[in-house]
Structure 1
Amino acid sequence: MAYIIILAKEDEKELHGKLTIRQSFTWNIPGRSRRNFDEIGPNLTLIFVADDGQKLPIGNKSDMEKVSLAWVGAILSGIHQKSTSLDYRARIKLVRKVSRPVSLADLARVLRKHEERALQVAAMEPSGIYPLAKDMARATLGAVRYLRPEMNELLDFLEVAVNSDSLDLVSPEDQFWREERDAMRTVLRIGQFSTALAGVWRRPTDRDAPYLAGLIRDPTEAALMEHDTRFFDGWAGGKYPQGRCDIQVFTDGARRLEIANVNATPIEGRLGTDLIYYHHGTHSFTLVQYKKLGQAGRPMYVGPNDRLHVQIDRLEAVNMKSRAPDAARDWRLSSDHCFIKLAHWTEEDSAGDAAPTNGLILPVTYIRLLLRDSATATRGEGRNLGYEQVERYLTNSQFIELVQDGFIGSVGVDVETLRNIVDERVEQGQGTLVAIEASDETPSERRRRNHSRSA
């Protein structure tokens, strides 16, 4: 199935920032039109724009000459009802501009008669959004590919986005890939890049490969995932001979986010996944190590000889890499910049759900106290860490905002020290996703961007 959205020229002008910068927007679906959306899964979206002065919905064939395919995108999750009305809303993501628009009339000319009529019916929908049945969607996309062969790579990319491989909770490689995908979603959200890009993915043939090995590159210049890197030069070419390192670079023109995903240990010997985010302008990094809550959110049991105790020792040694602040911009809420996330994985796996998974994000020094606290005690010598035992913890949104504003993170750590830390973590058997964000923003400019709702 695919969706057709038809915008008036005024709509396109109003949505300009969302279409070009955020590359996502929300479209309203009146409750009366909901019956047309029986299949509500992820689907590719064709976005048409009417000429200036053209009234919508279109009423005849001549109007089809004045409505052209100008954008494409994807609906990656279900259509949701608004909480305050009977209407519904669809979130269109990964919006990309069509370099050579093609009119509805031109598309209709290469379709069969009944397909042409179905396309006209879709264009006449008063709500401006209409779902095409599977066969009709296939015919329409085939017509677009025929008339605009240069769009084939982009349409392939979007079709992968709406049909990304899912991950289960059973196989070890899927569990590590879940953690690495969650880490990628988190750093993209910290950097305010599109988190939908983390879900355009195909399962790698090598089960020991990093998550980034299966990521499909965006073919457009707007997203600009480049091959060249600045901070990770040499990493992909034999830096870790026992494994592999995959690198992606994102830029919005003013800022760069380089992400390296390193797996140098086979699945059977890997201890876990680390997320390391480094902000180059402030020489500050934050590390999150992933742990797994039990099924249905049951607490994680920590025995007296559990390897978590050794891992906490190692994270506290990483904490010591930070210096004391000597300027106001270096002040932090805590000297902690290493955390453990007790992730609450669920059976459902939606590649289109761009939010990081829920869980408890805990500073390592706080975990030290929790492991001695009566609230975590069990009948034996072990301890339980979970929602019922831990009264206070950071949520994803709280953690991300604190990192964005520089309230948590190390002080005075250069890139060479960061590389040494990554090497240590990899040698200890950790899979690592490390991201470095670089820009010329001042702290005040960074804060304004992080807290601005406008594009």
Structure 2
Amino acid sequence: MVYAISLSAAELDEIDWQLQLDQFMGKTMGSSMRSRDLSPQVTLVFARTRPTSGTADPTYRLRWLGVVKRPKGRRVATRDALIRVEPLWRSPAPLELATVAASLSQEDASDLTLMLSSEVAVLPDELGQRLLAALRKQGPRFAELLDRLTIVADEAPFDSSRVEDRSWQEQYDSTRLALSIGEFPLAPLSAWRRPSSPHDTYLAGLIPEPTEQSLIEHDAAYSIPGPRLLQPWDGPDFRCDIHVFEHDGRRIEVANVNATPVEGRLGSDLIYYHEATQSFVMVQYKRLPPVERWIYVDDRLRRQLDRLEAVAQIGRPAHAPHDWRLGSDPCFLKLAYWPEDGRADPGGPAAGMYLPLSYVRLLLQDDCTRGPNGGRRLGYDYADRHLINSQFIELVKHGLAGTVGTSREELLALGTERALEGYSVTIATELGDGRHPGELVRERQRRAHSRTAGKRQTKKPTRARKRPQGPLIEGQLSWDLDLDERGFVD
């Protein structure tokens, strides 16, 4: 089954900049159009152009291709549902529907044209498959992109009963968190195959985008720019995979590093490093059970907190205005929660509580974290306040949390030490462009103050700004209303 979305060319031109930036779109449809097949569906987005003559039929051009992972959508009105097309890729080349229809029977071409007269159409299985086959005949770039979309649609959810899946899920989430902080699209993470070995990293299974040349194959010597002698991950104990993400002239390098078998790992860390300001934050993951949503504070967790205290000492005091931070906490616990349904992808980092280390210390000295038998607990019912994804991301984006003056050598040494201690480590480095550091700080602030970070380098319509009246852009909803993990506006 294939979804077909048809919007006017003017509407798509109006929101083109946002689709390029977000790489997803949302579209409302009537409940009668909702698919009975709940498996992910390949989606084609056409631009509709009406000729000047009122008697001629409109023409259609393929603009975007994507996947609707939850065809049932989300109810937004009594009889409407919102579907989310994500990831979303631009058509490899301009392609008129008439060109594709030439490979179809006359009956199929007529049926397809009729169905595109509605903004959303669910094509019958056989017609949808024949349409995709016709698209593949348009050249290798179309075939390669359709192969990628098929992989995305067929992706199996993580199985929380398997220890390797839990490790991959945490590395996946830490990578999504890093990209969210840097305002990089998440779509490149959508095509993934289960690695051959359970001891591999999440990035070992990531499939590069068809036009991307930045995948660095399993070689730690190219992890973070610098002399080779700074690279500590050449030994037989290390498993390291690196991926370079680029967007709007900016670059972030993400490395997954393991040094122990998956069964012996203590958890997952994210170390996010902003090169221009020599600042990092560290997030240590703790999984919340899907029902209780709290964890015991045992001796091992207390020892881990002690280690985080030592990590927090890296860096130096602020000596310039751009070095100022809200506090001295560069280390956070993320008590992360994943629904039992592995397909319930939130579209961003997993829900969870971000707790600064100093706040955790205070919590563990207060009666609010005492359980019925006197033990200590951390979770939703044991902390009156916590940061959610959007709040934590904003703090880091604005440079209000993190170390000051941390060198690359210190960063790599910390990542190596954490991996050897038994953690699965994700190191994400947002790279500067070589300009004066002050300019980079100001540029980061301008980007952080507006969600339109990449628009300066993206062509925008010259007409007066107004909210598009056609498709509902879901990103506007998700940034205007920030729901916490229990469904309440925070």
Aligned AA (1:278): Y
Mean Cα deviation higher: 323-332 or 192-201: 192-201
Aligned AA (1:256): R
> Is the 2:178–2:428 contact (alpha carbons within 8 Å) kept by the matching residues of 1?
yes
SS in 2 for 1:348: coil
Q: Does 1:438 align with 2:431?
A: yes
Q: Does 1:205 align with 2:196?
A: yes
Q: Does 1:185 align with 2:185?
A: no
Q: Show CA shifts across 1:289-312 (max 9, x none).
A: 111222313320123xx2111111
Q: Which residue number corresponds to residue 260 of structure 1?
A: 255
Call closer, same or farther: CA 1:183–1:238 in 2, change over 3 Å.
closer
Call closer, same or farther: CA 1:353–1:392 in 2, change over 3 Å.
closer
> Is the 2:233–2:416 contact (alpha carbons within 8 Å) kept by the matching residues of 1?
no
C-alpha deviation, 1:232, in angstroms: 5.4
Q: Which residue number corresponds to residue 5 of structure 1?
A: 5
The separation in 2 between residues aligned to 1:394 and 1:39, in whole angstroms, is 37
> Is the 1:276–1:432 contact (alpha carbons within 8 Å) kept by the matching residues of 2?
yes
C-alpha deviation, 1:114, in angstroms: 4.2
SS in 2 for 1:307: helix
Call closer, same or farther: CA 1:86–1:259 in 2, change over 3 Å.
same
> Is the 1:236–1:245 contact (alpha carbons within 8 Å) kept by the matching residues of 2?
no
SS in 1 for 2:193: coil
Q: Does 1:24 align with 2:24?
A: yes
SS in 1 for 2:137: helix
Aligned AA (2:277): T
The separation in 2 between residues aligned to 1:166 and 1:55, in whole angstroms, is 50
Q: Which residue number corresponds to residue 227 of structure 1?
A: 216
Call closer, same or farther: CA 1:391–1:40 in 2, change over 3 Å.
same
C-alpha deviation, 1:381, in angstroms: 5.5
The separation in 2 between residues aligned to 1:208 and 1:296, in whole angstroms, is 28
Q: Which residue number corresponds to residue 241 of structure 1?
A: 236
Aligned AA (1:193): F
Aligned AA (2:23): Q
Q: Show CA shifts across 1:176-232 (max 9, x none).
A: 1111111111111111111233232111110011111111111135xx644395615
C-alpha deviation, 1:74, in angstroms: 2.3
The separation in 1 between residues aligned to 2:41 and 2:232, in whole angstroms, is 37
Aligned AA (1:37): S
> Is the 1:240–1:264 contact (alpha carbons within 8 Å) kept by the matching residues of 2?
no
Aligned AA (2:274): H
Aligned AA (1:115): D
Call closer, same or farther: CA 1:453–1:79 in 2, change over 3 Å.
farther
Aligned AA (1:140): L
> Is the 1:24–1:91 contact (alpha carbons within 8 Å) kept by the matching residues of 2?
yes
Q: How many corresponding residue pairs?
A: 442
Aligned AA (2:294): P
The separation in 2 between residues aligned to 1:82 and 1:380, in whole angstroms, is 43
SS in 1 for 2:382: coil
The separation in 2 between residues aligned to 1:412 and 1:365, in whole angstroms, is 21
Aligned AA (2:279): S
Q: Which residue number corresponds to residue 164 of structure 1?
A: 155
The separation in 1 between residues aligned to 2:445 and 2:75, in whole angstroms, is 30
Q: Select the residue among 376, 382, 393 that pairs with 2:386.
A: 393
> Is the 2:34–2:72 contact (alpha carbons within 8 Å) kept by the matching residues of 1?
no
Q: Which residue number corresponds to residue 461 of structure 2?
A: none
SS in 2 for 1:38: coil
Q: What TM-score do you get using the length of structure 1 for normalisation?
A: 0.89
Call closer, same or farther: CA 1:253–1:230 in 2, change over 3 Å.
farther
Structure 1 unaligned segments of length 5 or more: list them.
none
SS in 2 for 1:431: strand
Q: Select the residue among 280, 284, 291 that pairs with 1:296.
A: 291
Aligned AA (1:324): P
Mean Cα deviation higher: 68-77 or 320-329: 68-77
Q: Which residue number corresponds to residue 14 of structure 1?
A: 14
> Is the 1:258–1:435 contact (alpha carbons within 8 Å) kept by the matching residues of 2?
yes
Mean Cα deviation higher: 272-281 or 140-149: 140-149
The separation in 2 between residues aligned to 1:150 and 1:401, in whole angstroms, is 37
Mean Cα deviation higher: 409-418 or 229-238: 229-238
Mean Cα deviation higher: 240-249 or 418-427: 240-249
Mean Cα deviation higher: 8-17 or 327-336: 8-17
Q: Show CA shifts across 1:409-439 (max 9, x none).
A: 1111011110111111111111101100023
The separation in 1 between residues aligned to 2:372 and 2:346, in whole angstroms, is 39
The separation in 1 between residues aligned to 2:345 and 2:214, in whole angstroms, is 19
C-alpha deviation, 1:36, in angstroms: 4.8
Q: Which residue number corresponds to residue 275 of structure 1?
A: 270
After superposition, where does 1:133-172 map in structure 2 within 5 Å?
133-172=124-163
C-alpha deviation, 1:51, in angstroms: 4.3
> Is the 1:209–1:244 contact (alpha carbons within 8 Å) kept by the matching residues of 2?
yes
Call closer, same or farther: CA 1:73–1:237 in 2, change over 3 Å.
farther
Q: Select the residue among 96, 103, 121 that pairs with 2:96.
A: 103
Call closer, same or farther: CA 1:69–1:55 in 2, change over 3 Å.
farther
Mean Cα deviation higher: 76-85 or 174-183: 76-85
> Is the 1:8–1:54 contact (alpha carbons within 8 Å) kept by the matching residues of 2?
no
Q: Select the residue among 308, 325, 330 that pairs with 1:337.
A: 330
The separation in 2 between residues aligned to 1:360 and 1:34, in whole angstroms, is 38
The separation in 2 between residues aligned to 1:207 and 1:311, in whole angstroms, is 25
C-alpha deviation, 1:145, in angstroms: 0.2
Mean Cα deviation higher: 416-425 or 84-93: 84-93
Call closer, same or farther: CA 1:339–1:241 in 2, change over 3 Å.
same
C-alpha deviation, 1:88, in angstroms: 3.1
SS in 2 for 1:15: helix
Aligned AA (1:73): G
Mean Cα deviation higher: 234-243 or 158-167: 234-243
Q: Select the residue among 349, 355, 372 that pairs with 1:356.
A: 349
> Is the 1:4–1:130 contact (alpha carbons within 8 Å) kept by the matching residues of 2?
yes
Identity %, equivalent residues: 39
Mean Cα deviation higher: 432-441 or 414-423: 432-441
Mean Cα deviation higher: 66-75 or 418-427: 66-75
The separation in 2 between residues aligned to 1:269 and 1:230, in whole angstroms, is 25
C-alpha deviation, 1:73, in angstroms: 2.1
SS in 2 for 1:310: helix
> Is the 1:232–1:260 contact (alpha carbons within 8 Å) kept by the matching residues of 2?
no
Q: Which residue number corresponds to residue 131 of structure 1?
A: 122
> Is the 2:108–2:127 contact (alpha carbons within 8 Å) kept by the matching residues of 1?
yes
Aligned AA (1:35): M
Q: Show CA shifts across 1:224-260 (max 9, x none).
A: 6443956157699962422310111011142111000
Q: Select the residue among 44, 54, 59 that pairs with 2:42.
A: 44
Aligned AA (2:241): D
C-alpha deviation, 1:313, in angstroms: 1.1
The separation in 2 between residues aligned to 1:54 and 1:232, in whole angstroms, is 56
The separation in 1 between residues aligned to 2:44 and 2:449, in whole angstroms, is 31
SS in 1 for 2:82: strand
C-alpha deviation, 1:86, in angstroms: 4.6
Call closer, same or farther: CA 1:241–1:54 in 2, change over 3 Å.
farther
